[in-house]
Amino acid sequence: MNRNQIEAFTNRWLAAICTGQVDEFAVLVAERVLDENTGQETNQDPFRARARTVYEAFEALEARVDELLVDGDRIAWRWTLSGVQRAPFLGECALGKRVTLSGTNFQRLDGGVVVAHYTLVDALGILRQLRSSST
């Protein structure tokens, strides 16, 4: 994949989350993928489940790719999602706050799909926002 195709790929990934179109992961992720967070091979279901969790917890979701690095078949990309919390997330009750979630994906691609994946998410940052008394 060239850089333009990879940019389109990352945007499609985020759009799947923001629109709740989790079936998109069938064309973004290989049937079997190495989840570097656990060290285990898995199927596409965890990707769908994580995306569904974010989509169901927030409305008016917006997303952007903040930075993209490409090295052959490996990509690293920082992303930001923002939305208004409408349902519990990470154990925190919905208070209707607009919050921002950020993270970085490290992925290896083969044939235009992810075959290895690692995510770093700023969970502490979003928990601080959800728990703050300001709206």
Per residue in 39-87, pLDDT (tens digit) is: 999 999 999 999 999 999 999 999 999 999 999 999 999 999 999 999 9
133 has pLDDT over 80:
no
Instruction: Give me the pLDDT at residue 101, please.
Output: 97
The third-level CATH classification (topology) of the domain covering 3-131 is Nuclear Transport Factor 2; Chain: A, (3.10.450)
CA atoms within 13 A on the CB side of 71: 6
135 has pLDDT over 60:
no
Instruction: Give me the pLDDT at residue 66, please.
Output: 98
134 has pLDDT over 90:
no
Of residues 28 and 95, more confidently modeled: 28
